[in-house]
Amino acid sequence: MIEGKKTSAQIKAIARQALMGNYGKPVGASIIMYMLNGLFTMLLLALVLLFGSFMYDGRDSGVLAAAVILLLSYVLYLGIVQVLMAGYTRICYQIAMGKECSISDLFYGFKHHPMRFVGLSCLLVLSLIVAVLLSLPLMILSVIAMAEEVMLGLLLYVLGIIVELVLMIVIISCFLLAIFILVENPERTLGEVFRINWELLRGNWWRIIRLQLSFVGIALVGFLSLGIGLLWVTPYQLCTYTVFYRTLKEEQEIHR
């Protein structure tokens, strides 16, 4: 390790220090997000019931209209969720930086180029879909092999899972810093965001992967607590990634 580079433990310690006495805002923002998510879900269900009759009356035009309306509504719902997540990230970013923030920052993304945050999320989702498709041949081969040799089929299946997980970790690592770059300055275009992102990642791939893997245990505990623990785990993760992002920027300035 190059002298002066912070370890994962040091970065996480800085994030925990920043969060001391400040958990209320991200936890409150999470609760608001859960409530809004429930409201959006109920609205989608209402749309399904409202247009359900069109989908079963035998008219092709009715089915098509209902399907298009439901699809557009779902896309709108996903877009709103992603913009809210940008605001939530902004709250954690401000806390990690020792700056003032409020729960109202949850709506930060709606006031600062929301389509850029949506575009960033779309690129991530498309990349993850590609990762799944790349591992699909091994999954198909495992099913075919099981008809002849169960152990070989299981081996191929496990190999497919491993390939998929590795690809997903690499892809998430590619995008991890991008949201903080955009939250810090939403005036940047996505092209500028990814240029800065790649410059910061150069020579730091193992550090960012190791930092992500260090959260596996605590994230599992959060899920096992029916998601309640994630109210505290998620801001801890985002504050840690913020500190890591700022650390890489400082290191980049030093070595210029």
On whether residue 132 sits in a domain, the answer given is yes
On whether residue 2 sits in a domain, the answer given is no
On whether residue 33 sits in a domain, the answer given is yes
Give per-residue pLDDT as tens, 152-200: 888 888 888 898 888 988 899 889 999 999 999 999 999 999 999 999 9
Cα–Cα distances in angstroms (integers) from residue 30 to residues 39, 88, 92, 97, in the given order: 14, 8, 11, 20
On whether residue 1 sits in a domain, the answer given is no
Mean pLDDT of the chain: 86
CA-based radius of gyration for the chain: 21
Please compute, for residue 68, the number of CA atoms within 13 A of its CA located in the half-sphere on the CB side.
6
Q: What is the pTM of this model?
A: 0.85
- pLDDT of 1 higher than 50: no
Q: Which pair of tokens denotes residue 8?
A: 């994962």
| Domain of 154, in residue numbers | 8-254
Give per-residue pLDDT as tens, 20-49: 999 999 999 999 998 988 888 888 777 766
On whether residue 113 sits in a domain, the answer given is yes
Helices (DSSP H) in 56-189: which residue ranges? 60-96, 108-111, 114-146, 150-176, 178-184
On whether residue 60 sits in a domain, the answer given is yes
On whether residue 74 sits in a domain, the answer given is yes
- Phi first, then psi, for residue 82 (nearest 5°) are -65, -35
- Phi first, then psi, for residue 94 (nearest 5°) are -65, -40
Domain count of the fold of the chain: 1
